[in-house]
Structure 1
Amino acid sequence: MLRRFRVEGHSMEPCFRWGDRVLVERWSFTKRWPREGEVVAVRHPFRRERVLIKRVACVWEDGQCFVIGENPSDSHDSRHFGAVQREDVIGRVWFRY
């Protein structure tokens, strides 16, 4: 249950740079909600074909996540589109290469 993604953009710098590849594991969130501080892959709420890599800033009781980029001046995140629904969280970034 691992998926590979490539980082595009500067929103997560300096933690993740354009061109980095990440492995996203999906099994953690089958038994629990994402936690604040975890880096996750999420579907963009309005452009469903896009996957975003962001850090969880806040989790509500119903599982909605407020996600933000590490580089606020160059990040399109929950400050622009609101909280991400639980079903749009693909998984936790597990490994970068």
Structure 2
Amino acid sequence: MSEELKNNDNLEVEQHEENTNDEVYEKGFLGKAALFFLELIKIAVLAGITIFVIRYFLFKPFYVKGQSMEPNFYESDYLIIDEITYRFRIPERGEVIVLKSPVSTDYYLKRIIAIPGERIKIENGKVIIYNDTNPKGLILDESYLNGMDTSGSLSLTLGDDQYFVLGDNRGASFDSRRFGAISREDIVGKVWLRGWPLDRISSFDVPQYSI
């Protein structure tokens, strides 16, 4: 009888030890799971902050609406706009930019044609630039227009912080010929990449002008 009790006592001790091990294992597992989910939350928060900074301070996506930049940009093209470059240098002639409309709440996609301090003249379908290098004027060679003329007639001298912008589709663009020169503050950023459609993904170089 006493031997049976002794055996039972041993059994109870062994069972207690097994239960203790189970509790330790369970607590260890829950602790690791909690740390794992905590790390996931940290990663998600950091990713969200990174996306926010990139989206609102470095690069911004835009969809093209309208035909004013054809044949180089088409309706529904998905563009990534570089908002940081112009914080370190001034915009250059030939760069395609997104700007805040000076006459509405819209955003426009246009090309910089004349830069601060220059005089621009449009006549006989041509754009003529006057500056220190070309005081007598030089017709701007715009090969990206595929032979298209620039309609209108004007002569305008730009101030120290002014830019003259035009759409590539000169016959269907609302641009500086209508609303005048824009200021540096109106410029959101320059077009860096076309991300859609897939068969037209490309980055953009500045045209080389002989001016």
Question: Could you state the TM-score of these two structures normalised by the residue count of structure 2?
Answer: 0.44
Aligned mates of 1:66, 1:21 — CA distance in 2: 24
Q: Is 1:83 the counterpart of 2:139 in the alignment?
A: no
Please say which structure displays the higher CA radius of gyration: 2
Tell me which of 22, 46, 50 is aligned to 2:106.
Answer: 50
Q: C-alpha root-mean-square deviation of aligned residues, in Å?
A: 0.9
2:88 maps to 31
The residue matched to 1:11 in structure 2 has which SS? Answer: coil
Aligned mates of 2:161, 2:66 — CA distance in 1: 27
Q: Is 1:96 the counterpart of 2:194 in the alignment?
A: yes
1:40 maps to 97
Gap runs ≥5 in structure 2: 1-57, 118-159, 196-211
Gap runs ≥5 in structure 1: none
Tell me which of 70, 73, 83 is aligned to 1:16.
Answer: 73
Query: Identity of counterpart residues, as a percentage?
Result: 39
Do the aligned partners of 1:33 and 1:63 also contact (CA within 8 Å) in 2?
no
AA in 2 matched with 1:82: G
The residue matched to 2:182 in structure 1 has which SS? Answer: coil
Q: CA deviation at 1:88?
A: 0.6
Aligned mates of 1:63, 1:53 — CA distance in 2: 19
Aligned mates of 2:97, 2:168 — CA distance in 1: 12
- Tell me the alpha carbon deviations over residues 42-93 of structure 1, each in whole angstroms, 9 at most, x when there is no partner: 000010x211010000111423111100001100000100111100100010
AA in 1 matched with 2:111: R
Q: Any runs of at least 4 consecutive aligned residues in structure 1 with deviations exceeding 2 A, and if so which?
A: none
Q: CA deviation at 1:94?
A: 0.3
Aligned mates of 2:82, 2:161 — CA distance in 1: 18
Compare the two structures and name the one with the higher strand fraction.
Answer: 1
Figure out how many residues of one structure are paired with residues of the other and give that number: 96
Higher RCO, 1 vs 2 (CA within 8 Å, ≥6 residues apart): 1
